[in-house]
Every structure is written in structure tokens, then in C-alpha cells.
Chain A
Amino acid sequence: MRSLYTWLCILSTVCAATAGDVLIAKAMRRIGDLGHYRRKHGSLQVIARVLSSGLLFGGIFFMAIAFFSNLVGLSWADLSLMGPASAALTFVTNAIAAKFFLHENVDRRRWFATIFVCCGVVLLTRS
């Protein structure tokens, strides 16, 4: 039963982190390159533009859920399971979500990079 709760926590952490990343990425894509925007309109306008994005706050909300879900998971499971499982799975789910929700060109190169980093994180944090 404890194992089931742990994996439910990992699942909710991964889903919430992915939703947060995708929403923040979508918000920033709508706003456009902040460097160009700042040169055109000034820093205050950039801050106002960013803070007026509902998607961004949605992303931060999901990031907060991921954070607390991770904390709850850590109270049941070891860091050596929670850390690698949630970090590595988030890399993969982000690549899938970016392809379908952000319409990014996730080509073979990006899949290789994602898998390399994912396996690397597992080796680094488990050993």
C-alpha cells in the first residue's frame, strides 16, 4: 500500500511539473522574446506584460502542486527513489507534452538528448 502511495506521489509530481513547464513555456511563447520586448518597450513594460499572463500563474500553480506532492512523497519514500524517478520521468513527459501541446519539433536529436540526460540523471542520483 505504501508503495502504491509513493508511486501515486511520483505520478502526481511528474504530471504537475509537466503541466507547469508547458503552461509557463506557452505563456512565454505568446509574449515573445523578452530581450526584444525590453529593447522596444522598456523593463517595466516587460514586467507588466509577464505579470498579466494568466497562463504563467497557472504554470506556477502547477509547479507549487509538484513541489508539495514531492514533499509528501519524500515523507513516505526514500530520496533515492523519489529524486531519480520524478526527475527522469519529467524529462520524458515534457518532451511528449511539448510535441503535442506546444507543437515543438521533437526530432530524433532531441529524443536522443532527452534519453541521454534522463539515464544520466538516474545514474547520478541513484548511485
Chain B
Amino acid sequence: MTLRKYLVLLSIVVFGSTGDSFLARGMRDVGTIDVHHLPDLLHALANPWVIFGIFSLLAFMSCYMTALSFADLTFVLPATSIGYVVMTFLGHFWLHEHVSPMRWAGVVLITAGVGVIAGGPSRTEHPPTHAASPESLQERQ
């Protein structure tokens, strides 16, 4: 794993969390949307917070796809779940929210999971199947 790859994983966490937060902030401005008036959702697209949120989530998606191009799904998903921990710390220290002992236990478990996955290989290497075929062995001889 190179520094660039760690930065891609970090970007997933940052853009995913900020995208969700921006969308939530924007939808608070827009207000409740009745299921019988779904076209009202289009008004939400004029809200700057919603626009920032959509761009953040597009950046999240491109970073997520980049990460999956060099690492396994079973590596990327646990590794980027550190975002839950970041959000809890932000909530506690920045927004002064109360975080119960149960939630701190959740933070410890997620951090342990990320620590366990980070110590292993990021990608399963599949040997090329043609390398062991009889034809290829004959070619080598």
C-alpha cells in the first residue's frame, strides 16, 4: 500500500461523511416532502447544501471505485468504516453531543476491526490461469 492508496481510502471517509452531512443540512432547509408531492424534490436541487452534498457524494463514488480497482471489497469496506468513528469524535468534541458508553464501545470495536484489516494484504492475488496450462508449459519447454 502506497501513500496515494491510503489517501484514496481517506478521501472515501471524508467525502462520504461530508456528503451525507451536507445533504442532511440541505434537506433540513427544504423541509418535509409529502409522498404525494414527490416533484417537490426538484426544489431541493436548488439548495446549495444539497448541491455540495451531491458533488461530495460524486467524489466519494469516484474514490470508492478507485479503491476497488486496487484493493479487495473485503478490505475497503472495513477499512473505510473508520468514518463512523470520525463522526462520533466530531459529534462529541465539536458539536458537544453526549456519547454513551455503549457508543464508545462501538467506537472501540470498529477501531479494532480497522486495525485488524489494515495489518493484512489489501488485495487477493490470483495467479494467471494460463500459466499452468499444458500449452504454456510446452511453450516454456
| A residues adjacent to B (C-beta < 8 A) | 21-22, 24-25, 28-29, 31-35, 50, 56, 75, 91, 94-95, 98-99, 102-107, 109-110, 112-117, 119-127
- In the bound complex, do residue B74 and residue A110 qualify as a contact, i.e. CB atoms below 8 Å apart? yes
Interface residues on B, range: 35 or more
- In the bound complex, do residue B73 and residue A50 qualify as a contact, i.e. CB atoms below 8 Å apart? no
- In the bound complex, do residue B109 and residue A119 qualify as a contact, i.e. CB atoms below 8 Å apart? yes
- In the bound complex, do residue B68 and residue A24 qualify as a contact, i.e. CB atoms below 8 Å apart? yes
| B residues adjacent to A (C-beta < 8 A) | 4, 35, 64-66, 68-70, 72-75, 77-78, 81, 84, 88, 100, 102-103, 105-114, 116-117, 119-121, 124, 126
- In the bound complex, do residue B69 and residue A109 qualify as a contact, i.e. CB atoms below 8 Å apart? no
- In the bound complex, do residue B105 and residue A123 qualify as a contact, i.e. CB atoms below 8 Å apart? yes
**Which residues of chain B come closer than 8 Å to A29, judged between CB atoms?**
68-69
The residue among A50, A115, A124 with the most chain B CB atoms within 10 A of its own CB is A124
Main secondary structure of the interface of A (DSSP, over half): helix
- In the bound complex, do residue A28 and residue B72 qualify as a contact, i.e. CB atoms below 8 Å apart? no
The residue among A102, A103, A116, A119 with the most chain B CB atoms within 10 A of its own CB is A116
CB distance from A103 to the nearest CB of B (A): 7
**Which residues of chain A come closer than 8 Å to B70, judged between CB atoms?**
33-35
Main secondary structure of the interface of B (DSSP, over half): helix
Could you tell me the distance between the alpha carbons of A114 and B76 in the complex, rounded to whole angstroms? 11
- Besides A25-B72, A116-B109, 18 more A-B contacts (Cβ < 8 Å) are A24-B64, A34-B65, A34-B66, A34-B70, A91-B78, A99-B74, A105-B124, A109-B119, A114-B74, A114-B77, A116-B110, A116-B113, A120-B107, A120-B110, A121-B81, A123-B103, A124-B84, A124-B107
- In the bound complex, do residue A113 and residue B78 qualify as a contact, i.e. CB atoms below 8 Å apart? yes
- In the bound complex, do residue A25 and residue B73 qualify as a contact, i.e. CB atoms below 8 Å apart? yes
- In the bound complex, do residue A33 and residue B110 qualify as a contact, i.e. CB atoms below 8 Å apart? no
- In the bound complex, do residue A120 and residue B106 qualify as a contact, i.e. CB atoms below 8 Å apart? yes
Contact A21/B73 with A105-B124, A116-B110, A121-B106 known, Cβ cut-off 8 Å:
yes
CB distance from B57 to the nearest CB of A (A): 11
**Which residues of chain B come closer than 8 Å to A95, judged between CB atoms?**
74
What are 24 residue pairs bridging A and B, where the CB atoms are less than 8 Å apart in the complex? A24-B65, A24-B68, A32-B69, A33-B69, A34-B65, A34-B69, A35-B66, A98-B73, A104-B72, A106-B74, A110-B117, A110-B120, A113-B113, A113-B114, A114-B78, A116-B110, A116-B113, A116-B116, A117-B113, A120-B110, A121-B84, A121-B106, A123-B103, A126-B102
